Amino acid sequence: MAVSAKEVKALRDQTGAGMMDCKKALAESGGDVEEAVKLLRTKGLADAAKRSGRVTTQGLVDSYIHAGGKIGVLVEVGCETDFVAKTDDFQTFVHDIAMHVAAAAPKYISREDVPAEETEAELCIYKEQAKATGKPENILEKIAHGKLEKYYTQVCLLEQAFVKDDQFTIEQLRGHLSGKIGENVEIKRFARFELGKEE
């Protein structure tokens, strides 16, 4: 199917993907823009997954101060090149992460960072809560693990819904940016300070 340059440009403006990727996605989807966007997002996330092992020695440290100086955040986000670290897309992402950390107060970056003893303790609580419901034994484990999954979405930054757009998790945003810029993007660490509160 022939795709016009105007259609390709419109899709590129909407998604930020490369011209050739946009052209290919429109051809594959038979000109259906929504389908082309889905194809590009899927490809971006797949490409981002391939990049995730690459070393991120460049990047930015950014800060965000909120609520009249009552909450402050520092974040470090890595990328592969100094060139990407200077782009608006990357800088906006880093600042958005700092703002998100201030608002959502995650404790860890990913579920792999949650100490095993904390996971066990949470699971024990959820099992006790499940028993109290009086439901059959065979589904108590499922209930407890379901609650543990929900716990991860509350305490792990990458699994939290983005505060500015809860359609996306932080991991999905990271993957989208990685696909768009063609480099691995890694949220390396953060520190959140709240006046009068020990973290």
Per-residue pLDDT of the chain (199 residues; tens, 9 = 90+): 677 888 877 877 776 666 677 788 888 888 888 888 777 776 665 455 555 556 778 999 999 998 789 999 999 999 999 999 999 999 999 999 999 999 999 999 999 999 999 999 998 898 888 888 878 777 888 888 899 999 999 999 999 999 999 999 999 999 999 988 888 899 999 999 999 887 5
**Integer Cα distance of 50 and 62 in angstroms:** 26
Which domains can be identified in the chain, with CATH numbers? 5-51 (1.10.8.10), 58-109+156-194 (3.30.479.20), 115-154 (1.10.286.20)
Tell me the pTM: 0.71
